[in-house]
Amino acid sequence: MTPALLPLVRPALREALRGRWLLGLMLGLMLVGELLLRFGGGGPTTLVSMLDVVLILTPLV
């Protein structure tokens, strides 16, 4: 990251980290993705299943 870009990105990152629901959503999606990779067989099946999860959760957020 260039030094000129850092003052612009820093407040946006602080604002994003202030919203705890965003961190919860990120951790939840990471957990679902990990479980799908472990038990779903991997590859395209996991990708399609993760897409389904995101499409279901997106309108709720």
Tens place of pLDDT for every residue, the chain, 61 residues?
A: 678 888 888 888 888 778 778 788 889 999 998 998 888 877 888 889 899 998 998 887 6
Residue spans of the domains in the chain: they are: 6-60
Q: Give the integer Cα–Cα distance in Å for 51 and 38.
A: 16
pLDDT of residue 43: 81
pLDDT of residue 61: 66
- Check: CB of residue 40 under 8 Å from CB of residue 46: yes
Pick from 16, 39, 56: nearest CA to 31: 39
